[in-house]
Amino acid sequence: MRPEEIRQMTVPEIESHLQEQQRQLIDMRFSHTISPVENPARMRLLRRNIARLMTELNTRKRQNA
């Protein structure tokens, strides 16, 4: 997910995408402990997307405060 795409989202959309990405990462971690994940680079991508979403969400919250 690109930063430009995240900036165009509303706060509820960012929050829903954040929860979805976090669930995917948890599921991937569980499956990785049982057997190797097909694409381990996807875990890194999920972590980075989560960080991008959280950064944008916190920036908006600070601007509104």
Domains and CATH numbers, the chain: 3-64 (1.10.287.310)
- CB-based contact 21:53 (threshold 8 Å): yes
Q: Which residues contact 49 (CB under 8 A, 6 or more apart)?
A: 1, 21
In the predicted model, residues of the chain with pLDDT beneath 50 are none
pLDDT of residue 64: 87
pLDDT of residue 17: 97
- CB-based contact 28:46 (threshold 8 Å): yes
CA 60 to centroid of chain Cα atoms = 16
Tokens standing for residue 35: 């057997």
pLDDT of residue 37: 82
pLDDT of residue 27: 94
